[in-house]
Structure 1
Amino acid sequence: MNALALVMALAAQEAAIDWAALPALPYRAPPVVTQGMHDFAGREAKARKCPLPPAPGHNQSMSVELALLVDGTGDVRTVVPRAIDCATVEQYAAGLAAGFARNNLLPRSGAAEQWYKTTVTFSWRK
């Protein structure tokens, strides 16, 4: 699948996702976002001139909501970031979420695919 087709498929999926109805991703252990991850996201957000929410003080933060399709064996099949007008950070968060979920989800009773949501928040010094 070429890049344009992938982007179009992801956009179509996002339009169909009822974000409010998704259950939380059932982590076994909560993921840890390291300082290096925070710093990378901050550098990318600044370099790409991403829109950032107003933040008083010396710290800035950015959250990315993600929808994850988990198959019957507990493997993540797809991760769709909710658009925040900062593609690099969206895709970085998507990759992190997939990694955080790998071998870290509680067992599920059903064997069908199911969508879940999670949020990755990055914080850094302005």
Structure 2
Amino acid sequence: MIAAFLLLLQAAAPPIAQVQVVPTIPAPPPATVPASAPVSGPVSGPLPPQDWSTLPPLRIRRQATTLANTSAYVHGEVMAGRCAKAVRTVQGWSLSLDLAVLMTRDGRVRRITPRAIDCPTVEQYAAGVILGARDSIDVVDTDTDTWYRTSLTFAWGA
């Protein structure tokens, strides 16, 4: 029975000589970017100046009313070993971080740039704290977008 089935398949199948094999053309290698080419990323707005001391201070109303728990996250990052920039104080520990904030002339936050302290999670967290306080920021009347400077200090007990 199997032999009859195989004979039937051979009769119905085209001869192998009639099957044409088309060689594949290899894909071209991906284009390489020279090492000196600038890398563009999701940057929105200009960069802050190099010297932040010349920037006007950012005025935030009701600074003390920000989340009472803001230092808990930073404390957790330090305890987990992801940030070694905290310093010992008489009251416990603290970590300070400078930020440059670009404000539009109508008082909206356009960009927040934390000064790098080798603690990226804390840097981004601090930027989020400032963004959360955006409704309490007072800006000087200007005709253009303006950079301001501010500093956050996170503190917790020993």
TM-score, normalised with respect to structure 2: 0.64
Return the structure number with greater helix share.
Answer: 1
Could you list the runs of 5+ residues in structure 1 that have no partner in the other structure?
none
2:103·2:109 contact (CA, 8 Å) conserved in 1? yes
Greater RCO structure (CA 8 Å; 6+ sep):
1
- Corresponding position of 2:140: 108
Could you list the runs of 5+ residues in structure 2 that have no partner in the other structure?
1-39
Structure 1 runs (4+) greater than 6 angstroms displaced: none
TM-score, normalised with respect to structure 1: 0.78
- Corresponding position of 1:117: 149
Aligned length: 118
Aligned pairs (5 A) from 1:34-113: 34-57=67-90, 59-100=92-133, 102-113=134-145
- SS of corresponding position for 1:103: helix
Q: 1:31: how far off?
A: 4.8
2-side partners of 1:64 and 1:20: how far apart? 14
Q: Which has the larger Rg? A: 2
Report sequence identity in percent: 33
Task: Give the aligned CA root-mean-square deviation in angstroms.
Answer: 2.5
